Amino acid sequence: MPDIRDVSLMSKEDTDIYSRLKEPQLLHIYEPGPGLFIAESPKVIGRALNAGYEPVSMVLESGDIDGEAGEILEQCGDIPVYAGDSDSIRDLIDIKLVRGALCAMKRRSLPGLEEICSGKKRIAVLENVTNPSNVGAAFRSAAALGMEAVILTDECSDPLYRRSARVSMGTVFQVPWTFAGPGWIDRLHMMGFKTAAMALEEDSVSIDDAELMGEEQLAVILGNEGDGLFPETIEKCSYTVMIPMSNGVDSLNVAAASAVAFWQLGKKR
């Protein structure tokens, strides 16, 4: 059973986790081992728990203990659960709980690129996508539309940052993912993947190109919010692929583009 305590009894360590330490600091808090992340909302916390992530502590409004948040407490063992009214929580950790609960959880070591891609037919790659909301939205699209894994280059925002996980509706805990590491395009090619760079170039093929859709193994690669993919990435890819546009619109936000691309290319046709 969870150990439910008044929020005023939070230890300095727990207060620091929720208020003083920034997400990059939580990421490295147990270095060289994996660090912590904060999951927000009962749905996101529940999906993290179902995926096997270990909770450390939780903060929630007292009125939610018997509500949606109460459904996840049974999965949390005997961790400290700090409960109070909205004003007391905000005074202590300077956070307004708008989604019912926060939970500090332990990260896990990430698998390597080859391990996570083994046996996969359709994967997504995010290159230099730095906006946490866009990372979260891309994960949600990947989970819904047939992508079996998500690979992120080292410049990307971390999928377990609170905003990313919240926007993804917890799908960051359902879709296998890892950071790419050096030489990732060449390594994908060595594993048999054809690579599709989503970019508006003169030699781009349409997203409904029959040869593209018929590839046995395909990695769909999307770039960042402003500049798109790096030129050297496009040059190395097997295909350059465009989404046809109308009304003079030259591109889509990466979150919207990911949904279109994954819908069209998420299954071998």
> Is residue 106 helix, strand or coil?
strand
Looking at the chain, the domain(s) classified CATH 3.40.1280.10 span: 113-265
Nearest CA to 146 out of 262, 43, 1, 226 is that of: 262
Q: What is the pLDDT of residue 97?
A: 63
Q: What is the pLDDT of residue 35?
A: 96
- Fold held by 113-265: Alpha/beta knot (3.40.1280)
d(CA 223, CA 221): 7
Q: What is the pLDDT of residue 243?
A: 84
Looking at the chain, the domain(s) classified CATH 3.30.1330.30 span: 3-106
CA angle 177, 211, 152 (to 5 degrees): 15
Residue 210, phi then psi, degrees to nearest 5: -65, -40
d(CA 259, CA 146): 10
Number of C-beta neighbours around residue 34 at 10 A: 15
CA angle 159, 161, 164 (to 5 degrees): 60
Q: Tell me, what amino acid is at 228?
A: G
Q: What is the pLDDT of residue 96?
A: 67
Q: What is the pLDDT of residue 226?
A: 79
CATH superfamily, region 3-106: Ribosomal protein L30/S12 (3.30.1330.30)
d(CA 206, CA 5): 58
> Is residue 203 helix, strand or coil?
coil
What are the distances in angstroms from CA 1 to CA 56, 76, 104, 111? 14, 8, 17, 32
Q: Could you tell me the pTM of the whole model? A: 0.91
Please provide the DSSP assignment of 233-246 as one string: HHHHSSEEEE----
Question: What residues are paired with 220 via a beta bridge?
Answer: 124, 196
pLDDT tens, the chain, 269 aa long: 678 898 888 888 888 999 889 999 999 999 888 999 999 988 999 999 999 999 999 998 888 787 777 778 888 888 999 988 888 888 778 776 656 789 999 999 999 999 999 999 999 999 999 999 999 999 999 999 999 999 999 999 999 999 999 999 999 999 999 999 999 999 999 999 999 999 887 789 999 999 999 999 999 999 987 788 999 999 999 999 998 877 767 677 899 999 999 999 987 54
d(CA 228, CA 61): 41
